[in-house]
A = this chain, B = another copy of it.
């Protein structure tokens, strides 16, 4: 049974900081944000988790395999190396959206995202007994994105197509299944999902084709961690590529 452990990582009081004492150089903010994300990706990734940049000031991570001590260390280490701190909330649920609801609520209860009083809040419960179907990862990409878009359109028009496909998918997966889909670069979207059937994935792919006119395909894997589920999903996606199919399970 799916038991997805999700962590919300929220930079404390970031909005006000970016304009104090006056607006900071945008490229410094971009650098700081993306390096913080990269560090979290290394920390979480080396323990089997996945983290998504989401809005950069709020990042969402699948953290099955990381316990309380790991989270405390991550929080301390960020505080030692960055001009900002992060608050963390952790939730576990069969449905990823529910787990994030819990995680977010814990951070919100500790204070506003723009409160100067809240710093390094940390609350949550953890999933203890790992099982091989705890995490379900779906790795989507766009069919022949290079041939249809990247090599033909200007980059922004390519981006618009990918982006409209993503906007459609993220909403559908959230509403239909409580799955959370994240754009991860190129033409790739990775979703953390409950246990869904091939039929249900096919429904998502069809929905995006209809609504946004973007043809996706998807590989699906499960495992005790996001990394294990995700690697299986990547292999399944390679299968789609070789077989010419739209949905494959590992």
Chain A 47-80 near chain B by CB (<8 Å), digits 1 or 0: 0011101111110100000000000010011001
- On whether the beta carbons of B15 and A113 are closer than 8 Å, the reply is no
Interfacial chain B residues near A14, Cβ < 8 Å = 186
**Interfacial residues of chain A within 169-204, with CB under 8 A of chain B in the complex:** 170-171, 174, 180, 184-187, 190
Q: A34-B38, A108-B151, A238-B19 are in contact. Are A25 and B159 (CB under 8 A)?
A: no
Residue of B nearest to A82 (CB): B83
Copies in the complex: 4
Contact of A227 among B22, B25, B42 (CB under 8 A): B25
Closest approach, in angstroms, between the C-beta of A82 and any C-beta of chain B? Answer: 6
**Interfacial residues of chain A within 218-238, with CB under 8 A of chain B in the complex:** 227, 230-231, 234-235, 238
- On whether the beta carbons of A155 and B31 are closer than 8 Å, the reply is no
- On whether the beta carbons of B27 and A51 are closer than 8 Å, the reply is yes
Closest approach, in angstroms, between the C-beta of A29 and any C-beta of chain B? Answer: 7
A16 CA / B229 CA spacing, docked (Å): 21
- On whether the beta carbons of B33 and A35 are closer than 8 Å, the reply is no
Q: A39-B42, A163-B167 are in contact. Are A57 and B155 (CB under 8 A)?
A: no
- On whether the beta carbons of A76 and B25 are closer than 8 Å, the reply is yes
A213 interface contact, C-beta 8 A: no
Residue of B nearest to A234 (CB): B23
Q: Give the contact-size bracket for chain A.
A: 35 or more
Contact of A154 among B26, B34, B104 (CB under 8 A): B104
Interfacial chain B residues near A37, Cβ < 8 Å = 30, 34
- On whether the beta carbons of A163 and B170 are closer than 8 Å, the reply is yes
Interfacial chain B residues near A249, Cβ < 8 Å = none
Interfacial chain B residues near A19, Cβ < 8 Å = 234, 238
Q: A45-B26, A160-B170 are in contact. Are A32 and B154 (CB under 8 A)?
A: no
Interfacial chain B residues near A159, Cβ < 8 Å = 54-55, 58, 170
A17 CA / B248 CA spacing, docked (Å): 22
Beyond the given A10-B155, A31-B41, A101-B154, could you list 12 further A-B residue pairs with CB under 8 A, ordered by the A residue number? A15-B146, A22-B235, A28-B45, A28-B76, A28-B80, A30-B41, A34-B34, A46-B77, A54-B156, A56-B186, A57-B185, A97-B154
The 7 tightest CB contacts between A and B, nearest first, are A27-B45, A56-B185, A23-B234, A28-B80, A34-B34, A104-B154, A167-B167
